[in-house]
Amino acid sequence: MLCHDTSSLIAYLQGHDGADVDFVDQAFIDQVGVLSPVTVAELLSDPNLSPTLRRTILELPTFPITEGFWERTGLL
């Protein structure tokens, strides 16, 4: 499982080129790429986000939140 960085995912969704974008694309192809809850929140907070892109983001796989997730995140 690979959790995508928000900035790389934004570049990917905007159709930019780069090694990070290629990595995001390959992770989705290999079905190992996921979004963290924070990344989903950051992406959906864009006031200019189109309804189509919103649906796309919500269809992407997300990292499952298990008990203690935020505590473990805070300890990192």
Residue pLDDT, tens place only, 1-42: 889 989 999 999 999 999 999 999 999 999 999 998 889 999
Count Cβ neighbours within 10 Å for each residue of 9-22 and write b for 16 or more, e otherwise.
Answer: bbbbeeeeeeebbe
Residue pLDDT, tens place only, 54-65: 999 999 999 888
| Alpha carbon 39 to chain centroid, angstroms | 5
Indicate yes or no: pTM above 0.85: no
Instruction: Report the SS3 class of residue 60.
Output: coil
